[in-house]
């Protein structure tokens, strides 16, 4: 069917869900079907100011083409004189990092399930030549069944190092990105190691009170495991095989999916065996 031309009149706008860098996200409902969506509003003047019109366009083309159970769907978009509207899948469970902050740290079962979902989603992206999704906890949502959804499309086109320094956190940057070296798919494997650690301990492994110290800890892979919470040896083994400075030596996505800790702890019903 030809792409429907949407407009604001097609939607009833609900509560604001959050405020991003370039605009707000609202709960919304398509008036005829009553279908619930999230509507992301981006101001054109913001895009002009930061010169990222083409990036947004490319992100939207990539995002709308990626169909995977662990990647938030972009159903379509429309614009008026001063705003662009993205029609996004609504994830009912909210932001994963809020669950992480609320609980302090996650069970090995939940952590393994989320890491497996991320590995599957990233393997899918890499097959489509899309790399380094911005997979920090702030960009992960949960659907009504607690299934993980990667929600951010502020990915890859703009080098993450530039964007991250603007936004503050460096915790998830791989060494080759910190050094602004050419990087490839393996940066995502590093980030999975960071996330696995953060899911299990509640804080990212190289956290420090300032950026210089975080940089140094990343470059030295200055990794240590606190004695509490108690974490299994297999989980630490997976983290140690991902947080490797030489990107060619990091565990591949396939090997992550086959790792004993994942096989033993990931909840098969919460993943998609596609």
Ligand X SMILES: Cc1cc(Nc2nc(/C=C/c3ccccc3)nc3cc(N4CCN(C)CC4)ccc23)n[nH]1
Active site residues: 134
* Residue choice 77, 90, 155, 197 for contact with ligand X (CB under 6 A): 90
Give whichever of 93 and 202 is closer to ligand X, judged by the CB atom.
93
The token pair that represents 55 in the structure block: 């990036």
* Residue choice 95, 108, 188, 198 for contact with ligand X (CB under 6 A): 95
Closest to 86 in 3D by CA, of 8, 194, 190: 8
Three-state secondary structure call for residue 136: coil
Rounded Cα distance between 120 and 204, Å, is 22
Mark out the alpha helices in 105-210 (DSSP H runs): 108-127, 160-167, 175-178, 186-201
Sequence-distant (≥ 6) Cβ neighbours of residue 264 within 8 angstroms = 112, 234
Interface with ligand X in residues 18-77 (CB under 6 A): 18-20, 25, 38
170 near ligand X, judged by CB under 6 A: no
Q: How many residues does the chain have?
A: 274
96 near ligand X, judged by CB under 6 A: no
One character per residue 124-143, x = contact with ligand X (rule: CB under 6 A):
-----------------x--
Q: How far is CA 246 from CA 28, 71, 214, 251, in A?
A: 45, 28, 18, 11
Piece of the chain touching ligand X by CB under 6 A; list 89-97, 124-132, 178-186, 257-265: 89-97
Piece of the chain touching ligand X by CB under 6 A; list 13-21, 53-61, 165-173, 246-254: 13-21
The answer to whether residues 187 and 247 touch, using CB atoms and an 8 Å cutoff, is yes
Piece of the chain touching ligand X by CB under 6 A; list 43-51, 74-82, 93-101, 118-126: 93-101
Give whichever of 197 and 199 is closer to ligand X, judged by the CB atom.
199
151 near ligand X, judged by CB under 6 A: yes
Give whichever of 139 and 156 is closer to ligand X, judged by the CB atom.
139
Piece of the chain touching ligand X by CB under 6 A; list 3-11, 14-22, 157-165, 221-229: 14-22
The helix or strand, by DSSP H or E, that contains position 76, with its residue range, turns out to be strand 74-79
The token pair that represents 40 in the structure block: 């992301």
Q: Is the peptide bond before 229 cis (omega within 30 degrees of 0)?
A: yes
Q: Which residues bind ligand X (CB under 6 A)?
A: 17-20, 25, 38, 88-95, 141, 151
């Amino acid at each position: 069917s030809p792409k429907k031309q949407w407009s604001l009149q097609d939607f009833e706008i609900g509560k604001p869900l959050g405020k991003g860098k370039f605009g707000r996200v609202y709960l919304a409902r398509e008036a005829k079907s009553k279908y619930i969506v999230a509507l992301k509003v981006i101001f054109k003047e913001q895009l002009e100011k930061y010169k990222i019109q083409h990036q947004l366009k490319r992100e939207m083309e990539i995002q709308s083409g990626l169909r995977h159970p662990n990647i938030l769907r972009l159903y379509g978009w429309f614009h008026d004189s001063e705003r662009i509207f993205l029609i996004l899948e609504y994830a009912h469970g909210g932001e994963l990092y809020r669950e992480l902050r609320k609980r302090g740290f996650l069970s090995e079962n939940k952590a393994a399930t989320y890491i497996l979902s991320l590995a599957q989603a990233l393997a899918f992206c890499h097959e489509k030549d899309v790399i380094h999704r911005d997979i920090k906890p702030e960009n992960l949502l949960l659907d009504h069944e607690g299934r993980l959804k990667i929600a951010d499309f502020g990915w890859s086109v703009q080098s993450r190092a530039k964007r991250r320094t603007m936004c503050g956190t460096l915790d998830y940057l791989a060494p080759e990105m910190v050094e602004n070296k050419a990087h490839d798919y393996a940066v995502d494997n590093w980030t999975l190691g960071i996330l696995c650690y953060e899911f299990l301990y509640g804080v990212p492994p190289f956290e420090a009170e300032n950026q210089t110290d975080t940089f140094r800890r990343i470059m030295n892979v200055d990794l240590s495991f606190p004695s509490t919470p108690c974490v299994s040896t297999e989980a630490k083994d997976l983290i140690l095989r991902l947080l490797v400075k030489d990107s060619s030596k990091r565990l591949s996505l396939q090997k992550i999916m086959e790792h004993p800790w994942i096989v033993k702890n990931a909840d098969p019903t919460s993943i998609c065996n596609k």
